[in-house]
Structure 1
Amino acid sequence: MSRQPGVPGRHARAGFRAARADDSTAVPQGLLKAARKSGQLNLSGRNLSEVPHCVWRINVDVPQEANQNLSFSAADRWWEQTDLTKLILSNNKLQTLSEDLRFLPALTVLDIHDNQLTSLPSSIEELENLQKLNVSHNKLKTLPGEVTNLRNLKGLYLQHNELTCLPEGFEKLFSLEDLDLSDNRLTTVPGSFSSLPRLMQLNLSSNQLKSLPAEISRMKKLKHLDCNSNLLETVPPELAGMESLELLYLRRNKLRFLPEFLSCRLLKELHVGENQIEVLGAEHLKHLSSILVLDLRGNKLKSVPDEISLLQSLERLDLSNNDISSLPCSLGNLHLKFLALEGNPLRTIRREIINKGTQEVLKYLRSKIQDAGPTHSDSAQETTAMTLPSESRVGAHAIATLKSLDYSDKQATLIPDEVFDAVKNNTIISVNFSKNQLCEVPKRIVELKETAIEVTLGFNKLSCVSLELCMFQKLTFLDLRNNFFDSLPEDMKLLIKLQLINLSFNRFKVIPEVLYDIPTLEIILIGNNQIGSLDPQKLMTMENLLTLDLQNNDLLHIPPELGNCVHLRTLFLDGNPFRVPRAAILKKGTAAVLEYLRSRIPS
């Protein structure tokens, strides 16, 4: 719409001005008109380098349509507009925000993430109704103190900026429930945070924190604390008194020991992977009565105490990439859905048992408990009862109790319908169809896609992965070894939680491309294939990859750039025809191999 001639650029009364002509090109008048009715304006992804003046004054100036010689219906009366309560300016090129922000005092949501902001206007304190402020993915180095006057603020999102400190008075944000300060440059956390009485989620990950204030324990409603990827060497013992804490993330720090979680009786997930923890004692475990997930991967643990059996609620235990040589048999008494052991020098359990997955390991450990019983015959009888189905073809006990569907070692060319029918309404976590003669993945396996997290299809005659298998979005463990695979379908990138894949003893000539598109992968076992070359640049993109097994392939050359994959904790290269690195270097372990390769990168 064009303005009528003769309409002045500024209204005689303060605060009432006509829309400027150049604003209409950046923000269509129809969009502004709709915003006056709904109270919401979305200007995301419009390549804006500045916010048009008409946006700030949307509830102040006379709208352009009021200057037209038009008759208004009841629905189009511009003077009956709604105050703007939600403004989205994300994914633009904004470097500054105008102080005119004060003309939108009714805002409850202001979303300006993914811009180039280096500061916020002081007038932000006049947004007294603001409940959610998202300024993530910008270039903020400081926050104005006026932010602390937003007394109704419930969610504050400041991740991915350049903040080195926080303004005084943060404790005045007493309505705050969710605070995200991850991926900044913070070196300290103010003790005043303890005065945030309603805070339930606090994300401090990917900063430069060397310690946490003891006062943090006063956050009586805090449920989720994320301190991943910092420089923490210890955590205050007062942390053990946080009665409401449910999720605690301390991955990728410098912790040497665990605190005793005396009062954290609601703690459901504890993530302390990739630290320097050497000892796990009974005192660290005895109070974790509600724990569901315990992540201890990538530490320096040499043993696991018998008291691990006290954690009867535990569902997921990650012990991968430690120095554990044996496991307590009492571990077999847990009702685990997932147990990760890769990357340990285990000597008491054969690798073939470990490769079969969680339920087989637990069964083996339980059998060892029975072996220690009063008589050998009693032990053997109990072991047989646990490893073989009773009189039926399907182990109903395993389905109901272990949540496992096991039809392995039958030399069957297909899986009978009665196997799937036996599941009924039971939840299945683990599926084992290994050691058969299957030429294709059973189509009815898709019936288990909502719950299964482990699928074992090794030792068959499979040559392709079906779409049905790619629909298992909770899958974390996939065993496809000893088949006829030479490629994997692109649809496998739908396995968005896959952590371990075993492709050993197949026919791969390169690492399948789709694996690079699964960012959650931590362990790739692809030994005993025909792989002749590596792409270190693509492997470097797999930041979560900890174990890569390339034993017994056809590698004539190991690219020096592979040394830049510093995230690798375990790299197996034995049995390949390359001459360098020499066997003596390979024996020194992964760190030495990577360092050697880096030294050979041309300068």
Structure 2
Amino acid sequence: MVELCASCTSLGVDIISVESIPDNGIAVLYSMPQCVWRINVDIPEEANQNLSFGATERWWEQTDLTKLIISNNKLQSLTDDLRLLPALTVLDIHDNQLTSLPSAIRELANLQKLNISHNKLKILPEEITNLRNLKCLYLQHNELICISEGFEQLSSLEDLDLSNNRLTTVPASFSSLSSLVRLNLSSNQLKSLPAEINRMKRLKHLDCNSNLLETIPPELAAMESLELLYLRRNKLRFLPEFPSCSLLKELHVGENQIEMLEAEHLKHLNSILVLDLRDNKLKSVPDEIILLHSLERLDLSNNDISSLPYSLGNLHLKFLALEGNPLRTIRREIINKGTQEVLKYLQSKIKDDGPSQRDSATETAMTLPSESRVNIHAIITLKMLDYSDKQATLIPDEVFDAVKSNIITSVNFSKNQICEIPKRMVELKETVSDVNLSFNKLSSISLELCMLQKLTFLDLRFKMLPEVLYRIFTLETILISNNQVGSVDPQKMKMMENLTTLDLQNNDLLQIPPELGNCVNLRTLLLDGNPFRVPRAAILMKGTAAILEYLRDRIPT
């Protein structure tokens, strides 16, 4: 089925969508209808008829077309008739088979958003540099091997996605994109970044995952607006220092070859919330980790760490991952109990002259007789409702009653015997973002979970992927490894546009549906330990981008 939709307003037709819609008996466009190009030129039949129209009804006299969506078709080229739509502010042609763009694109002077992702472009026409009002440019999943000369002239550009191409270098002139806020260079073949990148004074989000970077230019530290930095799956041996990045909130450097973490790497990360150091070669963690007062999530899994500084126990962590380290100072049974038990253990080992303020608060809170089974300290200090490892079949009302007027952002009911989601979880719907329900006896999930408006992280253990998960569109992470899941629905999963991490390791998947490759927002897809035969292990080892590309190539046409 092909949809040709004209949305009319009191000002007239301002958007046309000519988009292939997935359905039984798919129909697609191989060329553009001429009537679309000429919609601003040709006088419609009704205008020549002897009919009485009011001023607001004569749409052909009112508004030129401003938005054109022709995605999900099989267009191999566009004609220079594109110049007949000079008022366009949005042009969306993603998921086609374009190998080039017409030179007439230079005449779309009003264009603000251009989406050419998922095509077959090897080069960009120089004419694209004429689009001085362009704010969003999406070029991911093409075959680009270089960036066009004069690209830096796109001075209004705020959002640029060049991920999943074949770029080997980023020109120094790129730094002239002074308005850029978000830059995605992931899944290319970059071996270095230009030192001049520090001139991007407004850049907040920089994604360089899955490249060949061995070093990071020290000038990167001068990017004072940077908030999110992704450097996963590269070849870094050293963690860069960030003396100026006081606003940095997330630093992802997992799956590299970093051997050392020192105080100099940490002391200026005043605002850091997430620090991902998994799958490196770290042997120790410095005591200065305590300087990261805002840190909420710390991933140290799969390193060579044999001991942890006791000061780590004074951080207000929501999540601490330690699996895959040869730790000798913490018993495995404590690690298995989860983040809060590890922190409590480390804190108990801190030797001071007297109890710290935090220790005193814990001692006082935990002596409340009416709430002796509830971790009040976690509620007040960590904004966490923790009732884990109790082997309880129900979560007592006193646990929820203890919340009172406190804001709760994290819930940990893991390691119990509950068979259904507590109904009173709905009381936390406006604030809770992290929920851990792992190691229970859940066989299904109630719809109440959909009411958690800010849920972004959910840890479960299941025999099947619950249907309700597909309806939680805010989810960013699903960890459902070590279960007996036999299938997933790729069509429903594609609708989960915020999902970036899907862990399906060690399940019973006999086959991986090729359509799962359409879930292009996934940054981490883990499939090891399942009985399927394809994709082969060699593909899995290449990482998420390679897996998704492999699956997409096998979608039946």
TM, length-normalised to structure 1: 0.76
Task: Look up the match of 1:467.
Answer: 446
Task: Look up the match of 2:179.
Answer: 198
Equivalent-residue separation in structure 1 for 2:259 and 2:167 (angstroms): 28
Partner of residue 201 from structure 2, selected from 215, 220, 230:
220
Equivalent-residue separation in structure 2 for 1:61 and 1:415 (angstroms): 68
CA contact (8 A) 1:536 1:562 kept: no
- Cα distance, 1:566 vs structure 2: 4.3
Task: Look up the match of 2:190.
Answer: 209
Q: SS at the partner of 1:397?
A: helix
Partner of residue 363 from structure 2, selected from 375, 385, 410:
385
Partner of residue 424 from structure 2, selected from 434, 444, 448:
444
- Cα distance, 1:220 vs structure 2: 1.1
The root-mean-square deviation of aligned C-alpha atoms, in Å, is: 3.7
Task: Look up the match of 2:218.
Answer: 237
Pairs within 5 Å for 1:414-493? 414-433=394-413, 438=418, 440-448=420-428, 450-456=431-437, 458=439, 462=441, 464-467=443-446, 470-471=449-450, 474=455, 476=457, 478=459, 489-492=466-469
Q: Are positions 1:42 and 2:17 aligned together?
A: yes
- Cα distance, 1:163 vs structure 2: 0.7
- Cα distance, 1:444 vs structure 2: 1.8
- Cα distance, 1:385 vs structure 2: 2.7
Q: What amino acid is aligned across from residue 253 of structure 1 in structure 2?
A: N
Distance 1:468 1:326, change over 3 A: farther
Q: What amino acid is aligned across from residue 467 of structure 1 in structure 2?
A: S
- Cα distance, 1:438 vs structure 2: 4.7
Equivalent-residue separation in structure 1 for 2:164 and 2:392 (angstroms): 52
CA contact (8 A) 1:159 1:182 kept: yes
Distance 1:293 1:515, change over 3 A: farther
- Cα distance, 1:502 vs structure 2: 7.4
Partner of residue 33 from structure 2, selected from 26, 40, 52:
52
Equivalent-residue separation in structure 2 for 1:210 and 1:399 (angstroms): 46
CA contact (8 A) 2:88 2:111 kept: yes
Q: SS at the partner of 1:216?
A: helix
Pairs within 5 Å for 1:4-15? none
TM, length-normalised to structure 2: 0.82
Bigger radius of gyration among the two: 1
Task: Look up the match of 1:115.
Answer: 96
Pairs within 5 Å for 1:151-190? 151-190=132-171
Distance 1:312 1:448, change over 3 A: same
Task: Look up the match of 1:326.
Answer: 307
Distance 1:54 1:468, change over 3 A: closer
Equivalent-residue separation in structure 2 for 1:537 and 1:368 (angstroms): 47
Task: Look up the match of 1:292.
Answer: 273
CA contact (8 A) 1:493 1:514 kept: no
CA contact (8 A) 1:548 1:568 kept: no
Q: SS at the partner of 2:214?
A: coil
Task: Look up the match of 1:336.
Answer: 317
**Which string of whole-angstrom CA distances, capped at 9 and with x for unpartnered residues, describes residues 16-52 of structure 1?**
xxxxxxxxx9997x94987981322221227221112
Q: What amino acid is aligned across from residue 338 of structure 1 in structure 2?
A: F
Task: Look up the match of 2:61.
Answer: 80
Distance 1:301 1:536, change over 3 A: farther
Equivalent-residue separation in structure 1 for 2:19 and 2:268 (angstroms): 48
Partner of residue 281 from structure 1, selected from 255, 262, 282:
262
Pairs within 5 Å for 1:253-402? 253-369=234-350, 372-374=351-353, 385=363, 388-393=366-371, 394-402=374-382
- Cα distance, 1:424 vs structure 2: 2.2
Q: SS at the partner of 1:47?
A: coil
Q: Are positions 1:248 and 2:229 aligned together?
A: yes
Task: Look up the match of 1:134.
Answer: 115
Distance 1:353 1:168, change over 3 A: same
Distance 1:475 1:549, change over 3 A: farther
- Cα distance, 1:158 vs structure 2: 0.9
Q: What amino acid is aligned across from residue 278 of structure 1 in structure 2?
A: E
CA contact (8 A) 1:180 1:202 kept: yes
Q: What amino acid is aligned across from residue 391 of structure 1 in structure 2?
A: P
Distance 1:433 1:248, change over 3 A: closer
Equivalent-residue separation in structure 2 for 1:94 and 1:559 (angstroms): 34
- Cα distance, 1:156 vs structure 2: 1.1
Distance 1:27 1:276, change over 3 A: closer
CA contact (8 A) 1:396 1:422 kept: yes
CA contact (8 A) 1:399 1:423 kept: yes
Distance 1:181 1:440, change over 3 A: closer
Q: SS at the partner of 1:392?
A: helix
- Cα distance, 1:543 vs structure 2: 8.3
Partner of residue 406 from structure 1, selected from 380, 386, 390:
386
CA contact (8 A) 1:187 1:207 kept: yes
**Which string of whole-angstrom CA distances, capped at 9 and with x for unpartnered residues, describes residues 218-254 of structure 1?**
1111111111111111111111111111111111111
**Which string of whole-angstrom CA distances, capped at 9 and with x for unpartnered residues, describes residues 67-114 of structure 1?**
445444434435523111111111111111111111111111111111
- The percentage of counterpart residues that share the same residue type is 65
**Which string of whole-angstrom CA distances, capped at 9 and with x for unpartnered residues, describes residues 292-347 of structure 1?**
11111111111111111100011111111222222111111111111112222222
Distance 1:195 1:478, change over 3 A: closer
Distance 1:549 1:558, change over 3 A: closer
Distance 1:544 1:34, change over 3 A: closer
Equivalent-residue separation in structure 2 for 1:259 and 1:374 (angstroms): 36
Q: What amino acid is aligned across from residue 214 of structure 2 in structure 1?
A: E
Q: Are positions 1:61 and 2:42 aligned together?
A: yes
- Cα distance, 1:355 vs structure 2: 2.1
Q: How many residue pairs end up in the alignment?
A: 517
Name whichever of 139-148 and 385-394 sits farther off.
385-394
Equivalent-residue separation in structure 2 for 1:189 and 1:378 (angstroms): 50
- Cα distance, 1:430 vs structure 2: 4.1
- Cα distance, 1:201 vs structure 2: 1.1
CA contact (8 A) 1:94 1:115 kept: yes
- Cα distance, 1:432 vs structure 2: 4.3
Name whichever of 152-161 and 351-360 sits farther off.
351-360
Equivalent-residue separation in structure 2 for 1:40 and 1:558 (angstroms): 45
